[in-house]
Chains A and B, each alone.
Chain A
Amino acid sequence: MPQRDLARELRAARPVAPGALRERVRLVAAQAPPRRRVTRRRAAAVLVPAVAAAVAAAVLWPRAAPPPAERTAGRLAPSIEHGATGAATASAATPSSAPAPSSRRLQRYDASLELRVRDAAALAAATRRALAVAASLSGYPQSTDVSAVGRGGEAAIVLRIPVGNVERAIRRLSALGTIVAERYRVRDLTAEVRDTDRLIAGLERRLAAARARPQDARTQRLEDALTTRVQALQRDRAATVRSARDATVRVQLAVRTPSPPPQPARRGPLHGIGVAFRWLGIGLLYALALGVPPAAVLTGALLAARTLRRRRDESLLSRP
């Protein structure tokens, strides 16, 4: 049968909807179309990305304020470093982050204070006062370096203060000017000294054993070597203990230099537009970096799902 005749015959046998169906559809069509409702799927389509964005923002944006410096008291870790930078008023000069030294353990305590004073006269007065503070607390100046040029000047003072008085010393020294920066370093030496003690004890046992042996040239050499080693270790131990007795406090004094008034930047009439475009670009870059990988994954998943669905449909329609 030619295709044209075939098509004509097929069209001639075109089915017509029965009356019952027509009536049924008419009833359906007479209903008002339902209003769009907020379905679970729609709500999820909005809420899930919003929650994901909020979580991502919370994770990616770190908290602006660092946790406050904890004041260390009593037991200290083997080595602690504290530091702060920024101006503080002299009235609130008590350094908040100065850790307290331990009275029961050997510690090497280093403190560094950077202070600003008003003028050269205040610099001289503060230097004198710092030396007086050290003397009053049974300390001494290890080095003092003062230079004054015109209205400006600076002083670098290194003080050795008994560890028991270092907190008071720091408190008083902090009141000499405006704190610009402060730094504390505490290193525990107890374990180190104990190790040295153990080493010395072992060497002394070996020395005693060597002395108990019959003396000859070799034994004599061994005794000499052990004795030298024990003495060196004892010297080191004594130096370590000495260094732990006094804290080192470095005080840096400088005359406050008036900061020049900020120069108004020369900006053209299109500066605002440039800034706006820059921020837009940054935002776009972030959006691309954060949005492209999930979008690619989502697109791939959707394409895969569509292909799978089509294959299933084809298999459904491949039967007579």
Chain B
Amino acid sequence: MARTPGSCASSASSTPAGRDRAAAGGVSRGVTSFAQAAERHLDDVYGYLAWLTGDRFAAEDLAAETFERALRLWSRFDERRGSPRTWLCQVARTVALDHFRSERRRLRRETLAAVPERYEERLLEGLAPELEAALRLLTAGEREVIALRVVLELDARSAARVLGISATNCTTRLHRALRKLEEALDAAA
């Protein structure tokens, strides 16, 4: 993973919680602050989008768009209401939902004209084939909650903030998604 010199790649920021603390604790608001937040949380945002969309190439475009939009909205960001990572995930989710909407419109148009083409590609590098197949059975919403809670290790409150639901609801969703994933794996086995 490439890091710019001077970015916070310290031991404190090696864990997700440490990254949140480091981002929230330090720098003054402005260009530098946004640049640092972008550098620090790019992988999280990209990972979240890759899980949510199930398409790494789309996730790349959406991640870039997320940071463009986040730069425009940076003046609205309030650290007291959440960490930069949570906020960036919220922006990423909005961007992804816009993408899903436009995709749905596109698919509708293409369905009218011809059978739409779907490209099956690997969801994530390094996953066992049966796990990847099981993940493909999950809905985008289920993959999203797993990405936030398990992969990005956000706490229930932050993940709920990203999803716009209550923490209890978030936990319930995670439980159901994991159970569905396990059932799919068992069935494959």
Contacts and interface: CB of A to CB of B under 8 A. Distances in A.
Contacts of A320: 54, 136-140
Interface string B127-147: 110010000111111001010
Residues of A contacting B: mostly? helix
A319 B139 contact: yes
A316 to B, nearest CB: 4
Given A13-B124, A20-B60, A316-B97, 7 more contacts: A6-B131, A9-B127, A10-B127, A17-B45, A21-B42, A33-B72, A314-B141
Contacts, number: 123
A20 B30 CA distance: 24
Interface of A: 1, 3, 6-7, 9-22, 24-26, 28-34, 36, 310, 313-314, 316-320
A19 B153 CA distance: 23
A316 B38 contact: no
Nearest to A31: B71
Contacts of B63: 17, 21, 25
B139 A11 contact: no
A29 B181 contact: no
Contacts of B2: 19, 22
B139 A15 contact: no
A15 B140 contact: no
Contact of A28 (B68, B138, B182): B68
Interface of B: 1-2, 4, 30-31, 34-35, 38-39, 42-43, 45-47, 50-52, 54, 56, 59-60, 63-64, 67-68, 71-72, 74-75, 97, 100-101, 104, 124-128, 131, 136-141, 144, 146, 150-151, 153, 164, 178, 181-182, 185
Contact of B125 (A3, A13, A24, A34): A13
Nearest to B147: A10
B35 A30 contact: yes
A33 B139 contact: no
B140 A29 contact: no
Nearest to A20: B60
Given A33-B72, A317-B141, A13 B97 contact: no
A16 to B, nearest CB: 5
A13 to B, nearest CB: 4
A77 to B, nearest CB: 67
B24 to A, nearest CB: 18
Contacts of A9: 127-128, 131
B34 A29 contact: yes
A50 B51 CA distance: 46
A29 B32 CA distance: 8
A34 B136 contact: no
B15 to A, nearest CB: 12
B13 to A, nearest CB: 16
Nearest to B48: A15
Contact of A3 (B35, B140, B178): B178
Contact of B140 (A6, A14, A21, A319): A319
B139 A28 contact: no
Contacts of A21: 42, 46, 60, 63-64
A316 B72 contact: no
Contacts of A22: 2, 42
B104 to A, nearest CB: 7
Contacts of A36: 75
A316 B75 contact: no
Contacts of A318: 139-141
B141 A11 contact: no
Contacts of A1: 182, 185
Contacts of A34: 71-72
B107 to A, nearest CB: 10
20 contacts: A7-B150, A9-B127, A9-B128, A10-B146, A15-B51, A16-B1, A17-B42, A19-B2, A21-B64, A22-B42, A25-B42, A31-B71, A33-B72, A33-B75, A314-B141, A316-B101, A318-B139, A320-B136, A320-B137, A320-B139
B151 A11 contact: yes
B74 A33 contact: yes
Contacts of A31: 31, 71
Contacts of A32: 31
Name which of A3, A7, A20, A29 has the most chain B CB atoms within 10 A of its CB: A29
Contacts of A313: 97
B178 to A, nearest CB: 6
Nearest to A7: B150
Contacts of A6: 131, 178, 181-182, 185
